[in-house]
Structure 1
Amino acid sequence: MSDLVFVAQVGASFGVKGEFKLISHTEDPLAVLEYNPLLNDKGEPALSITGARGHKGALIVRAEGIADKDKAEAIKNQKLYVRREDLPEIDDEDDYYITDLIGLEVRNPDGSKHGRIKNVENFGAGDLLDIQPTSGTSYYLAFTRENVPEVNIADGFVVVVPPKEVIADPKPEDEA
């Protein structure tokens, strides 16, 4: 497991004074503001938030050193992390951090191996698993209970119900 946990991603600029949307991936979106500065994927300070407000499901934030629209646009899509040790401990074995899904084996409902989770993305409409099947091209699958009926972090796998297109056309990449 990584010692960094993905908690937020910078969205589009908002206005001309350096504000931008911040998409929080914490259970309570405002909780991301408790961790300052937020870190880059190398664990280095990346963003110090100086102010924030809620707006249509996202946060509109101001950050140190970001004073205009161009600087806000320059950091768009940046992923932000906190150290796992700075987060609350997880007491329930059914709870986990989204970051813990990356690298897990993906199994079909019958238990056969389907592939691995390459990444977890969120483009604003919910979490998507980026799945690399054992053969064929990677694809995104909405992270819902219907699509992912079982998550077993302790044993290192998730069970997915792959889309019909993936089941119908499992061509290896070199044949596609």
Structure 2
Amino acid sequence: MTNPPTLDQLIELGVVQDAQGLQGQIKVRPHASDPVALLSCKEIWLSLIPRRSAGVDPSLEPASLRLYRVKQSKFHSGTVLIALDGIADRDQAEALKGARLLVGRELFPKVESDSYYWVDLIGCQVNNLQGESLGDVIEMTDNGAHGVIAIGDAESQAVKYLVPFVKEIVHQVDLPNKLITLDWQADWL
């Protein structure tokens, strides 16, 4: 990516929680329990504009993005420690506290055939085995035991169902056609 992308073209993978040590490393709170995409990135975009900020002029978004080359990253005690090119001391790292880490989706590593990045499921239409439409995937979350699909109206973001993302319920995920088939009845709330 040569020109700064818009925030809509990037996927947020975590938030800078704090500085780590004296050499300018940052401590990142990843949004995923297994931050494989964050750990594999060789470059990241940082933005100090909070997610979905009310009153932020959209024309400021590209100017808020800054591209950094990742020198080193490692998973440590539930956080990701990252050394960035150009960030050499603790003061520079502390100035990034609260920044969002963003990457282009095309930079994510390939996944196995039965695995999915949750971001790819957002917006998929969800049908049950009887062919009834249940709505669209609005959000994916984790309850500790398994993933949970929030299904509802994509336009209003109103959630109608919270469904466990487990193989007993999820019968098919067809990403090319943006369709998920579940063993779930329309009258189950």
Q: TM-score, normalised by structure 2?
A: 0.55
Deviations 1:39-82 (A, max 9, x none): 6697854554444332135422244558458645422xx35222
> For residues 110-155 of structure 1, what are the alpha-carbon distances to aligned partners after superposition, in whole Å with 9 as ceiling and x for unaligned?
2210000123346887654332259994155443323423201123
CA distance in 2, matches of 1:11, 1:146: 36
How much has 1:22 moved relative to structure 2?
4.2
Q: Is 2:45 the partner of 1:21?
A: no
Q: Which letter does structure 1 place at the counterpart of 2:166?
A: T
CA distance in 2, matches of 1:81, 1:8: 7
Q: Which stretch of the first structure deviates more once superposed, 27-36 or 143-152?
A: 27-36
1:116 aligns with 2:140: no
What is the 5 A alignment of 1:38-53?
Answer: 38=45, 44-45=65-66, 48-53=69-74
User: When the two structures are superposed, what TM-score results if normalisation uses the length of structure 1?
Assistant: 0.58
Cα displacement (A) at 1:6: 3.1
**Whole-angstrom distance in 2 between the partners of 1:4 and 1:148:** 28
Distance 1:141 1:7, change over 3 A: farther
Counterparts of 1:143 and 1:51, CA distance in 2: 33
Quick one: distance in 1 between partners of 2:122 and 2:102?
16
Contact 1:148 1:159 in 2 (8 A): yes
Paired residue total: 161
CA RMSD of aligned residues (A): 4.6
Gaps of 5+ in 2: 1-7, 52-60
Displacement of 1:25 after TM fit? Answer: 5.3
Counterparts of residues 1-80 of structure 1 (less than 5 Å):
4=9, 6=11, 8-10=13-15, 12-13=17-18, 19-23=26-30, 29=36, 32-38=39-45, 44-45=65-66, 48-63=69-84, 64=86, 67=90, 71-75=95-99, 78=100, 80=102
- Give the distance between the partners of 1:124 and 1:117, measured in 2 at CA: 19
Structure 1 residues 51, 35: CA separation in 2 closer, same or farther (over 3 Å shift)?
A: closer
1:14–1:89 CA distance, 2 compared to 1 (3 A): closer
**Structure 1 segments unaligned to the other structure (5+ residues):** 169-176
In the alignment, structure 1 residue 157 sits paired with structure 2 residue 179: yes
Pick which of 40-49 and 139-148 moved more: 40-49
